[in-house]
Amino acid sequence: ADIREKLNPVNKSLSLSEYAPGIYLNIIVQKSLPNQAKDFLADLRNIVEGSWDAEDITAAEEKYTALESLIGRLSSSEYADRTWRTQCLDTRLHVTFIAQEITPEGNVRNVHANDAGLSGGEKQKLVIFCLAAALRYQLALEESATPSYGTVVLDEAFDKADPYFAKMAM
């Protein structure tokens, strides 16, 4: 939810510059949990659901054993457990970003779930536009039409870009 909320000003920034004539970019986020994270969340739900009542000592002991196992994996330094922990807890791995090319009327013209099928220049253009929108979000006050002062260093960002694209991106 936090990621979706923070995308709103980035998308607002993307809407200020044409990605192509009559086309703007919009970024959406999709939940994409790894299987390890799904299993981890299911295990947590099973542990906390229901009762830990002393009257049902067998169920409480099963929950305790399951919780003890999870805590053991979370605190383990074994490679497999560290990998599992990353898959479960690193929320950056739980989402996928998708760029939509949209018309001013809001119609989706094209979708980029990854950079497959794009030429080198098209990949570069997509990355630069998203980067520029994110920088604008970081450097501009919401009510400001232009960003406040900030230094940005781009190493070889426009090395093979045509002059029109470089000017448009900047």
At 164 the pLDDT is 65
At 69 the pLDDT is 94
**25-40 pLDDT, tens per residue?**
998 888 888 999 999 9
Sheet containing 24-31, strands listed edge to edge, beginning at the edge strand earlier in sequence: 24-31, 95-102, 108-112
**Cβ neighbours of residue 107 under 8 Å, at least 6 residues apart?**
none
**102-136 pLDDT, tens per residue?**
999 989 998 888 777 777 777 777 877 777 777 77
Q: Which residues of 63-73 are buried (b: 16+ CB within 10 A; e: fewer)?
A: beeeeeeeeeb
Instruction: In whole angstroms, give the CA distance from residue 136 to residue 123.
Output: 20
pLDDT tens for the chain, 170 residues: list them.
Answer: 788 888 888 888 888 888 889 999 998 888 888 999 999 999 999 888 876 666 778 888 888 999 999 999 999 999 999 999 999 999 888 888 888 999 999 899 988 887 777 777 777 778 777 777 777 777 766 666 666 666 666 666 566 666 666 666 55
**AA identity, residue 59:** A
